[in-house]
Homo-oligomer: A and B are copies of this chain.
Amino acid sequence: MNLTAVIMAGGRGERFWPRSRRNMPKQFLDLTGDRTMLQMTVDRIRPLVPAERVFVATGREYAGLVLDQLPDLSSANLILEPEGRDTAPCIGLAALCVEKVDPGAVMLVLPADHLIEKEAEFRDLLLAAARVANAGDALVTLGISPTSPETGYGYIQCGKQSRQVDGRPVYKVERFTEKPDFETARRFLADGEYLWNSGMFIWKASAIRSAVGRYLPDLHAGLEEIRPAIGNPEEEEVLAAVFPRLRKVSIDYGVMERAEEVYVLRADIGWNDVGAWTALERFHETDERGNLLRGEGVLIDTVACTIDAPGKLVAAVGLEDLVIVDTPDALLVCRKDKVHEIKLVIAKLKEQGKSEYL
């Protein structure tokens, strides 16, 4: 079984502004430690996948960043999207690249901006999922065992158990659901049949190609236009011409929610999508009053604040439940229960034409 990893590193998330920027999205930041999220994502699967079979899909503008952060990555393994068209075109393009190298490969499709605490368990799960995928045309995903009634994630309802692989139950997916309201999320959590949609997929490149052909024929046609150019001198030109015309659609909505042979493995792997500044407390030591400080600081009468200000002294007096992020040109001070409003800041900056801060 030839495993190939496709790391999806094209996100442009705004939730870590002002540390994250258009030219420096979250996956390239070392928010949780010394390694960036992209680096940790690759580190995590390297025991399963040799360097020459790791592919990274990202926006053309991030090519330099990716190569800087991943010195073992050959530029031939960079999959560069001329523009973001959501995950279905990205994964379709990646499948072309993987098939070109190894038509029988099993692809591990992994977002570059998630954290996983139980890495060995994660790899064991990927191996089990890959065995399921390799045995046929199954589309396999990992579903995260939910630990709280999250309204920010999609959910996967498990159907009946179809088999066991490596001692792990494999479930047919009953259905994918959109982000639920709080009451529904509570019901899902209590029910036990529902898992969080992790956005991690395992399948043969040929299997996802044929599923795209069935459920997204227009996308499939576009990809077939691109296929002959892959790895050839005209690749960039053809991609630039065709890719922006591909239907902008997620692989969940476009394929997974419609396909038949969709399976899920339950993943209890300490997964975290590090979705906001407030998620960082989990990954850093805090002081005895619950403050997280990255940088130098003098904190007086201050509790439960998250301060990210490398290279600057921060004096905090009388503060509670704030996020403070200092960068050379922009400073954020935000109440913890308002971090979702950071997107309003970015919207205002766009409106005011202050693109230098985006």
Interface residues in chain A, defined as those with a beta carbon under 8 Å from any beta carbon in chain B: 17-18, 296, 298, 300-301, 309, 312-319, 322, 324, 326, 329-335, 337-339, 341-342, 344-345, 348-349, 352, 354, 357
Interface CB pairs A-B, < 8 A, 7: A18-B315, A298-B349, A313-B357, A314-B332, A316-B334, A318-B335, A319-B334
CB–CB A330/B345 < 8 A: no
Q: How far is the CA of A315 from the CA of B348 in the complex (A)?
A: 10
- Report the separation of the CA atoms of residues A103 and B317 in the bound assembly, to the nearest whole angstrom: 51
Closest to A295 in B: B331
Contact of A331 among B18, B309, B348 (CB under 8 A): B309
- How far does the alpha carbon of A341 sit from the alpha carbon of B331 in the complex, in Å? 23
Which one, B300, B313, B318, B354, contacts A329 given CB within 8 A? B313
Since A18-B313, A314-B331, A324-B333 are in contact, a sample of 5 more A-B pairs with Cβ atoms closer than 8 Å, ordered by chain A residue number, is A313-B330, A315-B333, A316-B334, A317-B339, A318-B337
Determine the residue in chain B with the shortest Cβ distance to A335.
Answer: B318
By a CB distance below 8 angstroms, the chain B residues around A357 are 313
CA distance A312 to B309 in the complex (A): 14
**Chain B neighbourhood of A309, CB < 8 A:** 331
**Complex contact A332–B315 (CB within 8 A):** yes
- Cα A18 to Cα B316 in complex, Å, equals 12
Residues of chain B within 8 A (CB-CB) of A339 are 317
Residues of B near A348 (CB, < 8 A) are 298, 300
Contacts A326-B326, A348-B298: A338 and B354 contacting too (C-beta < 8 A)?
no
Asked whether B315 lies within 8 Å of A345 as measured between CB atoms, the reply is: yes
A332 in contact with B345 (CB, 8 Å)? no
Chain B residues with CB under 8 Å of A344's CB are 300, 317
A333 close to B312 (CB less than 8 A) = no
**B residues less than 8 Å from A318 (CB atoms):** 334-335, 337-338, 341
Q: Is the CB of A312 within 8 A of B298?
A: no
Which residues of chain B come closer than 8 Å to A18, judged between CB atoms?
A: 313, 315
Point out the residues of chain B lying under 8 angstroms from A333, CB to CB. Answer: 314-317, 319, 322, 324, 333
Nearest chain B CB to A231's CB is how many angstroms away? 44
Residues of chain B contacted by A341 (CB below 8 angstroms):
300-301, 317-318
Closest B residue by C-beta to A336: B318
Residue of B nearest to A18 (CB): B315
Report the Cα distance A335→B319, complex, angstroms. 7
Q: A319-B333, A357-B313 are in contact. Are A301 and B349 (CB under 8 A)?
A: no
Tell me the bound Cα distance from A226 to B16 in angstroms: 62
Cα(A332)–Cα(B337), bound, Å: 21
Are the CB atoms of B316 and A326 closer together than 8 Å?
no
Residue of B nearest to A339 (CB): B317
Are B317 and A345 within 8 A (Cβ)?
Answer: yes
Residue of B nearest to A17 (CB): B315
Complex Cα spacing A206 to B30, Å: 69
A277, B339: Cα distance in complex, Å:
27
Q: Which of B300, B330, B337 contacts A315 (CB 8 A)?
A: B330
A313 & B337 in contact (Cβ 8 Å cutoff)? no
Report the minimum CB–CB distance from A317 to chain B (whole Å): 4
A30: min CB distance to chain B, Å: 21
Residues of B within 8 Å of A337, CB to CB, are 318
Known: A298-B345, A300-B345, A348-B298. A315 touches B338 (CB 8 A): no
Q: How far is the CA of A115 from the CA of B316 in the complex (A)?
A: 28
A345 partner residues in chain B, CB cutoff 8 A: 298, 300, 315, 317
